[in-house]
Amino acid sequence: MTHRGSAAIPPVVNPAAPLRLLLDSAALAANWRWFAQRSGTAACGAAVKADGYGLGAAEVVPRLADAGCRDFFVTTWGEARAIAAETAGLSVSVLHGVREEDLPAALASPARPVLNSVNMVARWKAAAPGRPCDVMIDTGMNRLGLSAAEAASGLLDGLRIETLMSHLACADDPGDALNGRQRERFAAVAAAVPAGRASLANSAGICLGADYAFDLTRPGLGLYGGVPAPGAAGQVRPVARIEAAVLQVRDVPAGEIVGYGGTFVAPAAIRAAILNIGYADGYFRRLGPAGAAWAGSTRCPVLGLVSMDLLAVNVTGADVAEGDWLEIERDLPAAAAASGLSQYELLTGLGHRYQRRWT
Ligand SMILES: *Cc1c(COP(=O)(O)O)cnc(C)c1O
Phi, psi of 108 (to 5 degrees): -90, -5
Give the CB-side neighbour count of residue 284, counting CA atoms within 13 A: 16
Spatial separation of the C-alpha atoms in residues 38 and 36, rounded to whole Å? 5
State the Cα–Cα distance between residues 245 and 233, nearest whole angstrom: 31
Tell me the pLDDT tens digit for each residue of 167-216.
999 999 999 999 999 999 999 999 999 999 999 999 999 999 999 999 99
- For residue 296, give the nearest of 254, 327, 265, 317 by alpha carbon: 327
pLDDT tens-digit readout, 288-308: 999 999 999 999 999 999 999
343 lines ligand 1 (CB under 6 A): no
Q: Determine the length of the chain.
A: 359
Q: Specify the ligand 1 atom closest to the Cα of 75.
A: 15
Atom of ligand 1 at shortest distance to CA of 222? 9
Residues annotated catalytic, as ranges? 49, 260
CA–centroid distance for 305 within its chain: 27
| Phi, psi angle pair for 168, to nearest 5° | -85, 140
Q: What is the mean pLDDT of the chain?
A: 95
Q: What is the DSSP string of 218-252?
A: ---GGGGT---SGGGTTTSPP-EEEEEEEEEEEEE
Give the pLDDT score at 9.
46
Ligand 1 atom 13, closest CA: 167
- Which of 73, 217, 227 is the best mutation target for the ligand 1 pocket, counting ligand atoms within 8 Å of the beta carbon and taking the most? 73
Residue 49 CA, ligand 1 centroid: distance in Å: 9
How far is the C-alpha of 250 from the C-alpha of 71, rounded, in Å? 51
State the pLDDT at residue 15. Answer: 82
| pLDDT over 80 at 5, yes or no | no
Nearest CA to ligand 1 atom 4: 220
Confidence of residue 284 (pLDDT cuts 50, 70, 90): very high
CA-CA-CA-CA torsion sign (210, 182, 347, 106): positive
pLDDT at 14: 77
Is there a contact between 263 and 304 (Cβ–Cβ < 8 Å)?
A: yes
CA distance to 120, 122, 180, per residue, from 147 (Å): 14, 15, 17
Q: How many CB atoms lie within 10 A of CB 201?
A: 30
253-256-260 Cα angle (round to 5): 135
Q: Which of 227, 203, 196, 230 is nearest to 217 (CA)?
A: 203
Nearest by Cα to 185 from 207, 166, 210, 172: 166
